[in-house]
Amino acid sequence: MRCGSDLVYGHAVRSKVFLDDIVHDTITHAEHVKRKAVTTINVVDSKESWRIMSGRDEGGKPRAEAMTRSASAGLQFPVNRVHLLLRMAITRSVWVLELAGNAVRGKKKMRIIFRHLQLAIRNNGELYKFLVDVTIAQGGVLPDIQAVLLPKKTEKLVGSSKE
């Protein structure tokens, strides 16, 4: 086990070596750019040029080549696209169930049946466009009476009265 003074001494030696390297790099860089005086900007420039020459930015390991999720899983189909479609399907199913639940509450019932799903989908414009070709078994039809079949309203004249 090391004692405290050994740790401090080792840290001081590493710091001195680090500073010596910085001074050497700065002087070399200043001579290369033909400067007579060395400033703090030259220190920064020398370190930047060292990073550029080494081929690494900020030191560290070079970045690994990017892999798609399909390649990393060893699959042929696009995993990201399937994941996106699953998220969209979950969102739409939650949306349909929420609207069907509202229809159930309106009828003062406790269970969602096919009829409630049909009413929820057909009464919502966006869902109707999305599911226009879908037939829901036991869903029934929307309650709709055409205007032609309704009895005609007779107009009453305001000023006329039978005497």
For the record, the structure tokens of 30 come out as 């200043």
- Of 4 and 16, the structure prediction assigns the larger pLDDT to 16
Residue found under tokens 């466009």: 129
Sorted by where each begins, the domain ranges of the chain are: 8-54, 77-141
- Of 57 and 100, the structure prediction assigns the larger pLDDT to 100
**Cα–Cα dist 46/114, whole Å:** 74
Model confidence at 4: pLDDT above 70: no
Cβ atoms of 82 and 69 closer than 8 Å: no
State the pLDDT confidence band at 1, using cuts at 50, 70 and 90. Answer: very low
State pLDDT tens for residues 113-150. 999 999 999 998 888 898 889 898 998 888 888 888 88
Q: Is the whole-model pTM more than 0.85?
A: no
CATH class name, domain 77-141: mainly alpha
- Residue 70 DSSP class: H
Task: Give CA torsion, residues 115, 121, 122, 128, to 10 deg.
Answer: -150
60 φ, ψ (degrees, to nearest 5): 80, -175
Please compute the mean of the pLDDT values over residues 72-98 and round it to a whole number: 89
Count of all residues that appear for the chain in the document: 163
What was the pLDDT predicted at 6? 57
What was the pLDDT predicted at 72? 86
Model confidence at 8: pLDDT above 60: no
- Residue 76 DSSP class: S
C-alpha 117: how far from chain center? 30
State the pLDDT confidence band at 111, using cuts at 50, 70 and 90. Answer: very high
Residue found under tokens 């399907």: 89
Cβ atoms of 65 and 71 closer than 8 Å: no
- Cα angle vertex 82, ends 81, 85, to 5°? 90
